[in-house]
Amino acid sequence: MRYLPHSDADRQDMLAVIGAGSIDDLFAPVPADLMLRQHLDLPAHQPEFAVEAHMRKLAGKNRAGADGPFFVGAGAYRHHVPATVDHLIQRSEWLTAYTPYQPEISQGTLQMLFEFQTQVANLTGMEVANASMYDGSTATAEAVLMARRLTRREKIIISGGLHPQYRDVVDTYVGLGENLVHLSASPEGQGDIADHIDDKTAAIVVQTPDFYGHLRDVKTLAEAAHAHGALLIVVVTEIISLGLIEAPGALGADIVVAEGQSIGNALNFGGPYVGLLATRQQFIRQMPGRVCGETVDAEGQRGFVLTLSTREQHIRREKATSNICTNSGLCALAFSIHMSLLGDAGLRRLARLNHQRASALADALEKVPGVTLLNKTFFNEMTIRIGMPAADVIDQLAARNILAGVPVSRLRPDDPSLTGLIVLAATELTTDDDIASLVAALTEVLS
Amino acid sequence: MTVKYTEDHEYVRQNGSDGTVGISSYAQEQLGDIVFVELPAVGNSYKKGDEIAVVESVKAASEIYAPVDCTVTEINEVLNGDPGLINTDPMGEGWLVKVTIDDESALAGLMDEAAYQSHIA
Amino acid sequence: MSMNRQGRPSSPDSAVSNTSPGNAALLPDEPLLFEIGDTDHSGVDLPDVEISGSRLGGHARKTPLDLPGLTEPEAMRHYVRLSRLNYSIDSGMYPLGSCTMKHNPRLNEKMARLPGFADIHPLQPQSTVQGAIELMQQLADWLMTLTNTSGVALSPKAGAHGELCGMMAIKAAHEAHGESHRKIVLVPESAHGTNPATAAFLGYQVRSIPAAEDGTVRVAEVEAALGPDVAAIMLTNPNTCGLFEPEVKAIADAVHAAGAYFYCDGANFNAIMGVVRPGDLGIDAMHINLHKTFSTPHGGGGPGSGPVVLSEALAPFAPVPFIRRDGDALKLVEHADGEALGRLTAFHGQMGMYVRALTYMLSHGADGLAQAARDAVLNANYIKAQLSGTFSMPFNSQPCMHEVLCDDAFLKGTGVSTLDFAKAMIDEGLHPMTMYFPLVVHGAMLIEPTESESRQTLDRFVQTMLGLAARAKAGEAEAFTAAPLTAPRRRLDETQAARQPKLKWEPETTPLQAAE
């Protein structure tokens, strides 16, 4: 067995050192009737090529993004990841290192996390960021809990433009009840949040660009929240948008959470991704998740450590700020490498390119009979209304090898008013040919 | 002025109905370098045994309990910038909160210096 | 591992007072990205397109990004040089108790990068991702067979997230049965810190269960703590002392008789996979860390993956999404129907980790997984047998499972602490074992070799540990308290880091600028 170093002779020699007759003897504390006496009804071990064949067969049943026109977004985006990124994250010292609890021999990971935190803070316009969370949706739920701790208030107002699955995750974490106020879906980008804020409100949660692609007026919302002593949580699911649109921190956001997948990470059918969480310096004691800080070693040399760890569950046990003990280290590394490769200039170009491709898509869609574009503003994603159930249309287009976006009804089956809506995204990978194929096929299906 | 101790290593320095609360020298030694303190709001009232503050070292967070029923009148803001004062001068500059004691006679239930020294011995 | 050995003094007499110069050539210090990068540099070539801006509605960015860029050769060098400051399982043994740092096969990585897995979107039509859903189903089948359970929630993103999922399922089940008054969760003193954190997060009060003298939990203690207000027990088995709980079945029966559920922390499943099925022990929910037991890489702290297996009683409460057969097709059910507890994450969980874990399972097969567990237990007992005369082992009355627990009694009077001992291991080229956990013994040292280590590696480890113990007892405390001397950094000042948190890079301000 290729992963197990011992031969049977090794095992016998080792048992002799232990003074045991067999490995079974070492399982003596297990009640005999609970020990399995034969192997489970599962396949036996296989050579590498056989496993590979099995996996390739499964992979072959899936339609990959590169196999044809692709406009699926809604919280996960198909971008190009430079080859350098994937090479570097597969280096042994990154891939197979543990959490950096021994800082003297983990300075690589720690310095990278410090750089990552700085990148995230600068990108979002915030003072500090943590060392990453599981993903954007769980980061949103954690931000809601953090806001409650900070304000010692309970009421949370969720914008109708928040990604429906993010909303569902917040519901599950926080628990439904009168202190969780959901505003109705806002596919036209209408804003009605300010009216609901009162002096019991801990935070409002607003996504921009929102689920339907609209850019939201963060500054006005921040002012409305702060007038009542409430916090503004801004959610960003397309992090590349911040290369082109204003940083939420500059507009008054108190906590910014984001899905970082678009930078450095493949689609992976939904995970693993990397959640970003950034906030104000004054809030760091209530910030969830791991955080890396700068210090010096015994000789005065600069070094980095995990810090503020008393907030974490392994110290505070039932008084921890959250129950999260893993970050998304390798995905954060991929994010950080890709961000370094982009730099200021590269990110701006990439963001403009995404917007330009989306503009071309919007222009083309507006010309299709039976299609109404709902967006006056967008970054790289938009919503259209068609006169037919969107899910059927998406299936018909998929049958023509065009993945035309996400029918809103898939995420919000409870709201019949959303049945005719499709959310579509374009990225730097979207070609004019892709758009032409979509337009032709959509015209045909709708006629 | 008298100083009394709890079994959980808080001290209260009494001056009439006024009290100053902190942690004992023994406690700061056990905790190691204090890096952060979370202090209550002035005006808050506590029952004996309620969590009144939290002190954190690098490795542990410890709740500080009210030694008697009391109301907070002042907090040691200096600790926010220099929590190390709790290590260097726990019984002096490193105090945590000043309080009004509800019932002075309750102090009789706490340990005096000699009793505390034998408690930690 | 060889990383730090070049400059190591051959005898303790030749004590060095400085970081060993012998490493400097291969372990260069690396400046921060912000000190070498430039906002004009970029490692990507992209067309510089014009945009009209009319569709940005006045939201265009005005504040600077302050993101330095690196060209490709600069980036390659920065991240390669940084990587060399890390220990890793590929370069040496990682005897971290409760962490299961086993070999990470590269076939896993290759498979996860197949476009049919890596380049598919979680919200593309399900008809176009049947292979992905089938893979999830196969993984679920393996996990349920290995544990003899009836359901599995795949979506939790890590162990702690899985714990949250399992405890939420228990809470949902109690609520569905009109048992919401159950507010207590029993947690042994030796539990992982995540257990009480998770219980408290869900509004439960934690009642602590003491361990018996031999480090295990007695059914009598559990029975004494059970009552009509108890919702669940959270028990790790094998436990955090590395011991199989001999009364686990009786504990499960008592818990069930009291109307409560048994949450098992599956952190230590590596000791028993294919050998004992947790379902046979009476568990109702158990998370499985794919990044421990099933070899997906730790990546310097994630991403993890923590699927939760569920008993028949709890299976209906699993969160969305879950898989249902729909004729010939497989369907991912994405909206709570019936009693599902809700949704724990957007999309479907850690697909990239599912691919790696299933690849690992298929590589090992049922026979190989059982052998891996047996070798993990063999290796731990092999270490235990050779350290037991020298190291103090508080719970020595039964064979250990996959990890060995020592306390610091053997260091008494030497002036060497568990921390010092661990740091001295670094100078010997080893990653330290888990320290100061579990909390039930003083100065704990928890050693988990895993099945991946050869006998030669184990022998070297034992010799190093015995050598260090001898030196500690011989009065060489200073070599320990000064350690590490040959690592890229000496001990770091954690107090300063926590007192004045500096969490991001700031440009140096000169006195002149500061005056302005």
Indicate the burial class of A269 (C-beta count within 10 angstroms; 0-12, 13-18, 19 or more).
Answer: buried
Neighbours of A198 (CB within 10 A): 12
pLDDT at C6: 28
Contact C19, C486 (CB under 8 A): yes
Residues 6+ apart with CB under 8 A from C12: C471, C476, C479
CB C43 within 8 A of CB C69: yes
- Rg over CA atoms, chain B: 13
Q: What is the rounded CA–CA span in Å between residue C185 and residue C171?
A: 11
Do A318 and C206 make contact, defined as CB atoms within 8 angstroms?
Answer: yes
**Rounded Cα gap, residues A399 and A375, in angstroms:** 27
How far is the C-alpha of C205 from the C-alpha of C225, rounded, in Å?
A: 13
CA distance A341 to A320: 36
Rounded Cα–Cα distance for residues A134 and A138 (Å): 6
Helix (H) or strand (E) holding A412: none
Which residues in chain C touch residue A312, judged by CB atoms under 8 angstroms apart?
193
Burial level of A397, CB count in 10 A (0-12/13-18/19+)? Answer: buried
Buried b or exposed e, range C125-152, using 16+ CB within 10 angstroms: bbebbbbbbbbbbbbbebbbbbbbbbbb
Residue C193 Ramachandran class (φ > 0 left, ψ -120 to 50 alpha, else beta): alpha
List of residues 6+ apart from C227 with CB closer than 8 A: C184, C258
Q: How far is CA C215 from CA A266, C99, C191, C395, C396, in A?
A: 45, 20, 12, 6, 9
CA distance C328 to C337: 21
* Contact of C132 with C118, CB cutoff 8 Å: no
Length of chain B (residues): 121
SS3 B75: strand
Q: At what angle do helices C130-147 and A48-60 cross, to 10 degrees?
A: 130
Distance CA A271, CA C355 (A): 11
Structural domain tally of chain B?
1
Q: Which residues contact A227 (CB under 8 A, 6 or more apart)?
A: A197
Among the partner residues B35, B57, B61, nearest to A316 by beta-carbon distance: B61
Contacts across the B-C interface (CB distance below 8 Å): 13
Q: Residue holding tokens 């990653």?
A: C431
Nearest CA in chain A to B35: A308
**Contact present, A128 and A287 (Cβ < 8 Å):** yes
Residue B73's pLDDT band, with cuts at 50, 70 and 90, is: very high
Is domain A83-339 in CATH 3.40.640.10, yes or no?
yes
Please report where in the chains the tokens 């200039």 appear, as a residue. A345
Contact A332, A132 (CB under 8 A): yes
Residues of chain A with pLDDT under 50: none
pLDDT at C5: 28
- What is the identity of the amino acid at A71? F
User: Going by DSSP bridges, is the β-strand pair C404-406/C322-326 parallel, antiparallel, or unpaired?
Assistant: unpaired
Tokens 């158990």 belong to residue: C286
Closest CA to A24 of C381, C181, C451, C424: C381
Question: Where on the phi/psi map is residue C99: left (φ > 0), alpha (ψ -120 to 50), or beta?
Answer: alpha
In sequence order, the 6+-apart residues with CB closer than 8 A to the CB of A349 are C42, C46, C47, C48, C49
- A291 touching C (Cβ < 8 Å): yes
Chain A interface residues (partner B, CB cutoff 8 A): 285, 309-310, 315-316, 319
CA distances to A277, A352, C42, C264 from A241, rounded to whole Å, are 16, 9, 18, 43
B84–C contact, CB cutoff 8 A: yes
Which tokens hold the place of A398? Answer: 């998929």
Decide if the complex's ipTM is over 0.90: yes
d(Cα C406, Cα C267) in Å, to the nearest integer?
19
Lookup result for tokens 């969980």: C349
Residue A323: what pLDDT? 60
* A340 interaction partners in chain C (CB closer than 8 Å): 33, 37, 43, 68-70, 75, 78
CATH code 3.40.640.10 region(s) in chain A: 83-339
Contact status, residue A352 vs residue C49, Cβ threshold 8 Å:
yes
Per the CB < 8 Å rule, is A320 touching C197? yes
Q: CB distance B59–A316 less than 8 Å?
A: no
- Nearest CB partner across the interface for B36, out of A285, A315, A316: A285
Query: Among all residues of chain A, which has the CA nearest to that of B80?
Result: A282
Query: Chains near A, with 3+ CB pairs < 8 A?
Result: B, C
List every span in chain A annotated with CATH 3.90.1150.10: 69-80+345-446
B58:A316 CB<8 A:
no
Contacts of B36 in chain A (CB under 8 A): 285, 310
Domain CATH for B39:
2.40.50.100
Chain A residue numbers with beta carbons less than 8 Å from the beta carbon of B62 are none
Closest-approach residue (CA) in chain C for B56: C498
Would you say how long chain A is, in residues? Answer: 447
Domain extent listing, chain C: 24-35+70-87, 108-362, 371-490
Q: In this structure, are residues A357 and A430 in contact, taking their beta carbons and an 8 Å threshold?
A: yes
Q: Which CATH number fits domain C371-490: 3.40.710.10, 3.90.1150.10, 1.10.1840.10, 3.60.21.10?
A: 3.90.1150.10
**Alpha-carbon torsion, ordered A365, C130, C307, A108, to 10 deg:** -60
Residue numbers of C between 465 and 504 with CB closer than 8 Å to B: 494-495, 498-499
CATH number at A69-80+345-446: 3.90.1150.10
Handedness of CA C338, C343, C349, C354 (dihedral sign): negative
pLDDT score recorded for residue C14: 35
Hey, are the CB atoms on C499 and B84 less than 8 Å from each other? yes
Residue B51 sits at the chain A interface (C-beta within 8 Å): no
**Closest chain B CA to residue C498:** B35
Q: Which of these, A358, A334, A158, lies nearest to A244 by C-alpha position? A: A358
Q: Please list every residue in chain B whose beta carbon sits closer than 8 Å to the beta carbon of residue A285.
A: 36, 38
Chains with 3+ CB–CB pairs under 8 A to C are A, B
Any A CB within 8 A of B36 CB = yes
Of C130, C198, C244, the CB nearest to A323: C198
Q: CA–CA separation, A42 vs C369, rounded Å?
A: 11
DSSP string covering A98-148: --S-SGGGBHHHHHHHHHHHHHHHHHHT-SEE-S-BS-HHHHHHHHHHHHH
Q: Tokens in use for C19?
A: 């970081």
Q: Which domain holds residue B27?
A: 2-120
**B56 close contact with C: CB closer than 8 A:** yes
CB contact under 8 A, A3 and C368: yes
Specify which residues A276 forms β-bridges with.
Answer: A258
d(CA A67, CA A48): 27
Instruction: Answer for the pair A377, C74: CB distance below 8 angstroms, yes or no.
Output: no
The region of weakest confidence among B10-14, B30-34, C247-251 is: B30-34
CA–CA gap between residue C190 and residue C369 (Å, rounded): 27
Nearest by CB: A296 against C37, C94, C496: C496
* B33 at C interface, C-beta within 8 A: yes
**CB proximity B81 to A under 8 Å:** no
Contact flag B60-A315 (C-beta cutoff 8 Å): yes
Q: Could you say which of 3.90.1300.10, 3.40.640.10, 3.30.70.20, 3.30.70.890 is the CATH number of the domain covering C108-362?
A: 3.40.640.10
Q: What is the mean pLDDT of each run of 10 residues along chain C (516 residues)?
A: 28 39 68 92 95 90 95 97 96 95 97 98 98 98 98 95 96 96 94 87 93 93 97 95 95 98 95 97 97 95 95 97 93 89 96 98 98 98 97 93 97 96 96 91 95 98 98 97 95 93 86 48
CA-CA distance, C388 to C394, in Å (whole number)? 10
